[in-house]
Chains A and B, each alone.
Chain A
Amino acid sequence: MSEIKLMKGNEVLAEAAIRCGCDGYFGYPITPQSEVMETLMMRRPWEETGMVVLQAESEVAAINMVYGAAGSGKKAMTSSSSPGISLMAEGISYLAGAELPCLIVNVTRGGPGLGTIQPSQADYFQAVKGGGHGDYKLIVLAPSSVQEMNDFVNLGFELAFKYRNPALILTDGALGQMMEKVELAEFKPRWTSEEINENWGSWATTGKPASRKKNVVSSLVMGSEEMEANNLRFQEKYRMMEEKEVRYEAFQCDDAEFVLVAFGTSSRVCQKSVQIARAKGLKVGLLRPITLFPFPKLVIKELARKVKGFMSVEMSAGQMVEDIKLSVYEAGSNARVNYFGRMGGIIPSPEEVVEALEEKFSWEISYGVKRSY
């Protein structure tokens, strides 16, 4: 019987890390995610599972510690909030370039700059388009409940190791600070040296036996041809993720004429907006991308052929809306794509979302689809 608890999203990230057999957490405190390391320090997992918990001297140091641990085939993790993730961007690019699996969590706050400490989704571009330099992608998971904050730690590690690529949980201050009922995962032991050797011995720096060549972990390649070959291999890997790892949840989309698209906290708001809109007689559904990369393009393309419009609801100036537009364009559809959002740490209310929908789609609501622009 697994344990049911009332916990904050941030606390759950820490507990889930211990339970999934994480080997090391390296971080630096920043609001609104400081409870992650606080919880780990209080839980003292080094006494229980041998997991290392270390407060680094900076975010730059923390991400490079993750690089080192990941290079030896260990399950390494860090978490931060927006400005801290920006500091880590160089290291994240190196991890992607060296094809190292790890888990990064961004408990986003309002930006740009030091911004506010309230929740935001304005790091979407940074998360899904790379964020650091070079052509790379992260596997990006967007939880919308404290339960998913728990579940996605293990899932993030699984996907990271499956593709030898960093995975990122993109969440926000609201989910980090909120307490909900959570069913904690069963304890999994940390991998033994033998297991790491057997599973990741082909690339990880586990100590060179006489039977194989030495493994070198590096993102530096001196020859352009060789670097392009690496890039092609990375791109192939990202295509594979797009084919196999897309996750989403569709909520009352079957008969919908208008579809709200939202992830994380704003998707929770939109669930209620759907109820309010339906009570008014508007056929509204919600599509919640769970993986932001790979983005659920296909389902949007399918919906685009039958709905009158989409509205991307974001706690940002409108970032995901670009990916929706691309998908609708690829479907050759006339469905209109709008955006509504709040910024700077403000979460829109469900009523506000419905008002915006009625205003932005007033033509379609009254007359149907415009066939030409």
Chain B
Amino acid sequence: MTEELIIAGFGGQGVLSMGKILAYSGIMENKEVTWFPSYGPEMRGGTANVTVILSDTRISSPIVKHFDSAIILNQQSMDKFEKSVKPGGILLYDPNGVIHPPQRTDINIYKVDATVTAVEMGNPKVFNMIVFGSYLKIRPIVTLDNVEKGLQKSLPDRYHNTIPLNLDAIRKGQEIVELVQEV
């Protein structure tokens, strides 16, 4: 099993930390992992993206042209990465940040209303964990137990009291993800 995933959105949406939690959860499953961020003179509100690779075998290139899955959280990222999903691959997006929905007919498309749901849950910061939950529903590559261990490893001690809230958000994301198109 090798999963090559791109997570892309605005800086501040929790794109990089979502990737990090997935990577740590992968380690808990004894998988090989690579987390490769776009880095540059970035700032809050600018675009941010990270490539996460999980594999049962040694990982080769951190540079990926065609992804198995893409999580897309704003229009700029949709413009850039919709075309980078492999035929038959997965695209998950939040319609709140996307004006033009994806047009591809050869990929599986899912959406999650995470921005609104995060506000309903009373904490906009869990936005990324709702999206993460939706992704795990579609691609159950790590178990929730290992995600919990991943959270313990990747969050500093002072935030460990937020783990139950994060897990709730993940479960919520698993519930509310909608299938848009299946191929």
A residues lining the B interface (CB < 8 Å) = 4, 6, 32, 117-118, 173-174, 177-181, 265, 268-273, 275, 347-351
Contact = CB atoms under 8 A, between A and B. Distances in A.
Given A32-B39, A177-B36, A268 B60 contact: yes
Interface of B: 20, 23-24, 27, 32-37, 39-41, 59-65, 153-154
Given A269-B61, A349-B65, A351-B65, A180 B37 contact: no
Nearest to A273: B61
A181 B33 contact: yes
B153 A6 contact: yes
B63 A179 contact: no
B39 A173 contact: yes
A178 B154 contact: no
6 contacts: A178-B62, A268-B62, A269-B60, A273-B61, A349-B63, A349-B64
A273 B61 CA distance: 9
A198 B103 CA distance: 72
Contacts of A177: 36-37, 39
Nearest to A178: B36
A79 B83 CA distance: 39
B154 A6 contact: yes
Contacts of B37: 177-178
B40 A180 contact: no
Contact of A118 (B24, B32, B40, B62): B40
A173 B40 CA distance: 10
Contact of B23 (A4, A6, A117, A349): A6
A180 B63 contact: no
Nearest to B27: A181
From B32, B41, B59, B61, residue with most partner A Cβ within 10 Å: B61
Nearest to A274: B60
Contacts of B33: 6, 179-181
Contact of A269 (B20, B34, B39, B63): B63
A295 B49 CA distance: 36
A271 B62 contact: no
B61 A271 contact: yes
A179 B54 CA distance: 12
Contacts of B62: 174, 178, 265, 268-269
A117 B36 contact: no
Given A6-B33, A181-B27, A351-B65, A271 B60 contact: yes
Given A179-B33, A180-B59, A272-B61, 7 more contacts: A6-B154, A173-B39, A178-B62, A179-B36, A268-B63, A347-B63, A349-B63
Nearest to B154: A6
A20 B33 CA distance: 25
A42 B157 CA distance: 15
A100 B64 CA distance: 42
A118 B41 CA distance: 10
Contacts of B64: 349
A180 B35 CA distance: 6
A179 B23 contact: yes
A277 B146 CA distance: 36
Contacts of A348: 63
A117 B62 CA distance: 18
A118 B37 CA distance: 11
Given A268-B61, A349-B65, A351-B65, A179 B27 contact: no
Contact of A4 (B27, B36, B65): B27
Contacts of A272: 60-61
Given A32-B39, A117-B40, A180 B60 contact: no
Contacts of B60: 268-269, 271-272, 275, 350
Contacts of B65: 349-351
Contacts of A351: 65
Contact of B35 (A4, A179, A265, A350): A179
Given A6-B154, A178-B34, A180-B33, A350 B39 contact: no
A357 B14 CA distance: 39
From A174, A179, A271, A275, residue with most partner B Cβ within 10 Å: A179
Contacts of B154: 6
Contact of A181 (B32, B36, B40): B32
A202 B39 CA distance: 47
B27 to A, nearest CB: 5
Contacts of A117: 39-41
Contacts of A4: 27
Contact of B24 (A6, A32, A265, A271): A6
- A-B pairs, top 3 by smallest CB distance, nearest first, are A271-B60, A179-B35, A272-B61
B22 to A, nearest CB: 10
